[in-house]
Amino acid sequence: MKALFAHDHRFYQGETAMLSKNAFDAKVWERYLEHVEELVVVARISDLAKDADIEKYGVSSCERVTFRHIPKSHHWTNLLPFNTAQQAMEKQVAEVDAVIARLPSRIGTMAVKAAQKLGKPYAIEVVGDPIESYQHHGSRRLKLLAKTVGRAMKKNIASASHVLYVTQRDLQEKYPTMGMQRGASNVEIAEILPNVAFKREVSIREQQHRPVKIGMIATLETDYKGIDTALEAMKMLKQEAQLYILGPGDATKWQALAATYGVASQVTFCGILPAGQAVLEWLDTMDIYMQPSRTEGVPRALIEAMARGCAAVGSTAGGIPELLSPEFIHEIGNAQELAEKVADLMQHPEKQAIQSRQNMTVAVQYTQPILQKRRAELFDSFFSTVPSKERKK
């Protein structure tokens, strides 16, 4: 059986392999290859810059996986009834037995449309709310499209036979389906070893002798990760803490805002690291993690931080309240509340220690074996409905 996976993620064509800045390393495809012989990944593909630091990219290439680029998939003309991008998608969908579309995404939506037209079975992975994300993206055009895109996504999900949500409640309530559904985050957390807890306890004890290090992982290209809220909160925390932001994009805008708030010396932009162990080791150097997002599904970075025993504070966006207790949740955009909750943790190391243990307990529910079981149940059911003489046992 041959399946197609469609999403807006941007991959980079290197000399010998397809690369990705974050998420989507080769291990991700295993969850689909357990059920099919071949997987075609339709996404955005760019040539890798000649001066790119290859060590900061993960390898996405994998046996039995091929990558396809849809030209002009994000051009305004793809909103028209007839366009070359949609025609190109239909050609790709015509060559496979089934489609898995990750939404919200333009390419995922195009794949669903093509599957419906061609009568191909399709499953949907729901990873976020486009109404929230478009409204906070920064683009006026996307803000205007937010409700239209949200209605279309709701319609597609409602009629899908199989839907996988990254949340346990939030997205299910916003985008319900009549089909089979399961909740499983796209996070892949390995087993949490006992030495992680021990190292975190030692770190908390030693914290009184140095500035508190606050970590945040976010793309710098959009506003919806709440970087502005984090920088404003740092102004209230003054010199008692240092903020480290890991993620892709141009930091110029945020450096200027940090200077405006008078916290430029307290903020470090760390660039990018390969997904996986490098990010986990970076999180091990942080004391407190913050996730002040304006929109979310279930944030991978927050779960990874929790798995490393970081105390954490997050906003009310998306599935964040499913991860953290109300004591550590702040209203979206409320920098004062964020600063107060972080300051409380800074001033009470015993609270950090308690929350550290609680966070690791929650993170266990997001380890690979548990999540893979939920995904496998849904995909076993989905692919069993796909007509194919070559169906993988």
Tell me, what amino acid is at 228?
D
**pLDDT one-digit tens code per residue, 267-306:** 999 999 887 888 999 999 999 999 999 988 889 899 999 9
**For the chain, what is the domain count?**
2
Residues 58 and 164 in one domain: yes
Mean local confidence (pLDDT), 310-328: 95
How far apart CA 52 and CA 55 sit, in angstroms, is 9
Mean local confidence (pLDDT), 60-76: 87
In this prediction, residue 210 has a pLDDT band, given cuts at 50, 70 and 90, of confident
pTM for the complete prediction? 0.81
Residues 204 and 183 in one domain: no
Residues 166 and 238 in one domain: no
Given a cut of 80, is residue 90 above it in pLDDT? yes
**pLDDT one-digit tens code per residue, 355-364:** 999 999 999 9
Residues 234 and 130 in one domain: no
Residues 175 and 302 in one domain: no
CB 224 within 8 A of CB 133: yes
Residues 114 and 167 in one domain: yes
Query: 3-state class of 331 per DSSP?
Result: coil
CB 318 within 8 A of CB 293: yes
Q: Residue 384 carries which DSSP code? A: H
CATH of the domain at 348: 3.40.50.2000
Residue 112 lies in a domain: yes
Residues 378 and 324 in one domain: no
Tell me, what amino acid is at 126?
V
Query: Mean pLDDT, the chain, as a whole number?
Result: 91
What DSSP letter does each residue of 35-98 carry, written as one string? Answer: T-SEEEEEEEEEEPPTT--GGGSEE---TTEEEEE-TTTTSGGGGSSS-HHHHHHHHHHHTSSE
Domain that holds residue 357: 194-364
Residues 244 and 207 in one domain: yes
Residues 177 and 229 in one domain: no
Residues 6+ apart with CB under 8 A from 345: 288, 311, 313, 328, 351, 352, 355
Q: Residue 213 carries which DSSP code? A: E
Residue 391 lies in a domain: no
Paired with 44 in beta bridges are 10
Residues 34 and 171 in one domain: yes
In this prediction, residue 140 has a pLDDT band, given cuts at 50, 70 and 90, of confident
